[in-house]
Structure 1
């Protein structure tokens, strides 16, 4: 029997933070404590697949846009929406705050957010980005831009929940996991194969606390 949360838990993690786990466990503190621990484990396991997807996406898109505009800092001449241009500006400001006085294009790309690269697949960029070049960033994909963008956006939301230490136990995590591998397959199938060699998500999903199994949703 796994004990309920110890007395120090409320001081360290807060009672409000524990509340969603209690609700998901029908008020059973012991089950909620088990679920809280499992949520940490599965969040940690998703780091590897999300790491591969985020870096793979930004590098694939960056390569295509660099080729289209003939320069590594393509964002200086590309018709970015203000919202996305501000993300580039923030990346530059963050680098300078860290003491990088003359950031290279690679520095900027590494400092940008996952959300920026998914945003570049928005309908507003069909004429300038998707049709002429960005579709080539996904050589193993034959569908439309919108479903691809929607699937990637759902992974941004998952990534943000994990990085902000929020519950993800209520999600259909097996579907999320399959989606990451599918998206990697659109970019570079060998990456998905390589990832499977150390991907811990399936094993952790298999030992999800029983009382919490019924709360999965997409």
Structure 2
């Protein structure tokens, strides 16, 4: 058996590492970090690393929001259309029928074809589907009586106002989720506003769950270590 030969020692080369990272992520993507770092007089590699860590930390609140919202909506649908609500013609007729782009009705049909079990359907539907349920078209049929049932700790406001506020928060969080999923930079966002939106949604469903999340999440502490903190214009 031949002897294992250790690779030659290579001294630490921080500049070379930055060049390698730039080449691997593409010049177009790297230019976003390079420009922001130059404005803040910081290192683009450090900014890239911090952005990656922040994306990872935000998955925890986003996870809870999506799970709690889809289960809350499924509960409201079950109260309105019965335990087999995915098969309800009355509910299906209320879904928007879009001939191009995303169509909630088509997604539901595909989910039902994959499995007749309601739990499987709920788990298989996308965040976009649940987001659609918070549009104005469902004010009367779902949320007038259903919102306070499934979000019992929401503010004492009319159901249509609560639904509209939830839609706005979910729109913001869905955009953030999509940017993270596509590995886009999020350092320019108002992350504190994103976290506030997640906080409102989770609290309205379960304050104790929010307390648990706040004890364990790491995004808030990461914000304090931002290499851009106080050095560039406020986030978009």
TM-score tier, shorter chain, comes to: 0.7 to 0.9
Residue deviations 1:13-48 (CA, integer Å, cap 9, x gap): 111111111121237896221111110000000000
Distance 1:74 1:30 in 2: 52
- Structure exhibiting the larger radius of gyration computed from Cα positions: 2
Task: Give the C-alpha shift of residue 121 in structure 1.
Answer: 1.1
Gap runs ≥5 in structure 2? 1-12, 98-102
Residue deviations 1:164-200 (CA, integer Å, cap 9, x gap): 1111100111221122112210111111011122100
What residue in structure 1 maps to residue 48 of structure 2?
A: 36
Label 1:75 to 1:184 Cα distance change in 2 as closer, same or farther (>3 A). Answer: farther
Asked whether 1:9 is paired with 2:27, we answer no
Q: 1:152 aligns with which of 158, 170, 173?
A: 170
Q: What do you get for the CA RMSD once the two structures are aligned?
A: 2.4
Q: 2:106 aligns with which of 86, 90, 96?
A: 86
Distance 2:45 2:111 in 1: 38
Residue deviations 1:32-72 (CA, integer Å, cap 9, x gap): 21111110000000000110111001001101111211123
Match runs of 1:66-85 below 5 Å: 66-74=78-86, 76-77=88-89, 78=91, 79-82=94-97, 83-85=103-105
Distance 2:177 2:130 in 1: 14
Gap runs ≥5 in structure 1? 97-101
What residue in structure 1 maps to residue 71 of structure 2?
A: 59
Asked whether 1:46 is paired with 2:66, we answer no
Distance 2:130 2:87 in 1: 12
Taking structure 2 as the reference length, what is the TM-score of the superposition?
0.80
Distance 1:213 1:191 in 2: 35
What residue in structure 2 maps to residue 126 of structure 1?
A: 139
Number of residue-to-residue matches in the alignment: 210
Are 2:40 and 2:231, in contact at CA under 8 Å, matched by a contact in 1?
Answer: no
Distance 1:211 1:31 in 2: 13
Distance 2:234 2:128 in 1: 25
Taking structure 1 as the reference length, what is the TM-score of the superposition?
0.86
Asked whether 1:190 is paired with 2:190, we answer no
Are 2:40 and 2:232, in contact at CA under 8 Å, matched by a contact in 1?
Answer: no
